[in-house]
Amino acid sequence: MRTGERLAGSGGSVTQVYVQGGAVYTIGIDSDRCKKDGMCAVVCPKGIFVQREQLMMPDLVGEDTCIGCGHCVAVCPGDAIQHSGFPPTATRAIQFEKVPTTDQVLELLKSRRSIRAFRDKPLERRTIEKIIDGARFAPSGHNSQSTEFAVVQDRAVLDQVTATAIEYLKFEIRRFGNPVFRNLALLANRESAESGLHEIPGFERMVQAFESGADPILNGAPVLLAFHAKRTEGYGNVNAQLALQNASLVAYSLGIGHFYTGWVLAPCRAPMARAWNRRMPDLLGIPPGNDLYGALALGHPIPRFKNMIERNPARISWN
């Protein structure tokens, strides 16, 4: 099929066939169903639907630029849009009565807290899948839906994750203790080096806690949920953070405790220490072409917070 080939469909529909990423897709407008309201033209981020005049069925132009967002299918009141990426089995009516109010959303956001104390109880697979289901609906640049997920439940692997992070902290303590490295780091990027030096006492306390039998990295969480994407994905990092935030809110709504495991990511971003950058992704089973962008430790919480704590006022500039 050639990009933009026009075919006659059944029921008076007009169909455009286009090729994107090696696959063949079709977009059609069923003229019998089309209400000619032009809503598809209003919402399409790529301007593929063009309504030349009011109360006229839109034309399809530049359809090879479609990013597969589904706006056209989701907005059409007459279900007239036919997009092969969104068959009837992939769409359902929104149940607006289930959408929370603004106050309910704010209550969710303001009452969520990071949990670092977990019960010795595994998470059910369906619970983890529900958290990931919420994560996959996060927005993503160009609708790439680039975020992939790795679920780690093996206690031996989780213990190794903690041990690896601690070994990385020891590495940082050693090299910042070396005056040659310290001076070179200060010359290369004084602000970054001074920030690293400031962290060393905290690193030493974490190492001491680990050697005393504690887990200062995962806090004994039974599950680590990692968010990763292909290194070549332009918005891979941003997309993963958005997915992580969705996962956090779904986890909280399910009564699952969780926290963002920054120390799991730290070795991946170690400056002037490339040998460390793949150790954690390899341990988590993340493909060589993918980067680790975020991780949540998950588990049944021991505490249940009763109060919300006020945050600092928002810093806002109005222009």
Gap between the Cα atoms of 207 and 169, Å rounded: 7
What's the pLDDT score for residue 3? 43
- Summarised one tens digit per residue, pLDDT across range 250-283 is 999 999 999 999 999 999 988 778 889 999 999 9
Alpha-carbon span 141 to 228, nearest angstrom: 15
pTM of the model: 0.88
Q: What is the pLDDT of residue 140?
A: 95
Give the pLDDT confidence score for residue 72 in this predicted structure: 94
- Sort residue 157 into left (φ over 0), alpha (ψ -120 to 50) or beta: alpha
Tally the residues of the chain: 319
CATH number belonging to domain 100-319: 3.40.109.10
How far is C-alpha 303 from the chain's CA centre?
27
**What is the chain's alpha carbon radius of gyration, rounded to the nearest angstrom?**
25
Mean pLDDT of the region 3-19: 50
If you average pLDDT over residues 82-91, what whole number do you get? 89
pLDDT in tens, 186-224: 888 899 888 889 999 999 999 999 999 999 999 999 999
Tokens of 26: 């079709």
Report whether 41 contacts 31 (CB < 8 A). no
Task: Judge whether residue 18 has pLDDT over 80.
Answer: no
CATH 1.10.10.10 fits 5-90, yes or no: no
| pLDDT tens digits for range 221-256 | 999 999 999 999 999 999 999 999 999 999 999 999
Burial class (CB within 10 angstroms; exposed 0-12, middle 13-18, buried 19+) of 143: middle
- Cross-strand bridge partners of residue 16: 6, 27
How confident is the model at residue 22, as a pLDDT?
52
The three state secondary structure string of 215-256 is CCCCCCCCEEEEEEEECCCCCHHHHHHHHHHHHHHHHHHCCC
Q: Where in the chain are the domains? A: 5-90, 100-319
Instruction: Indicate if 100-319 has the same CATH topology as 5-90.
Output: no
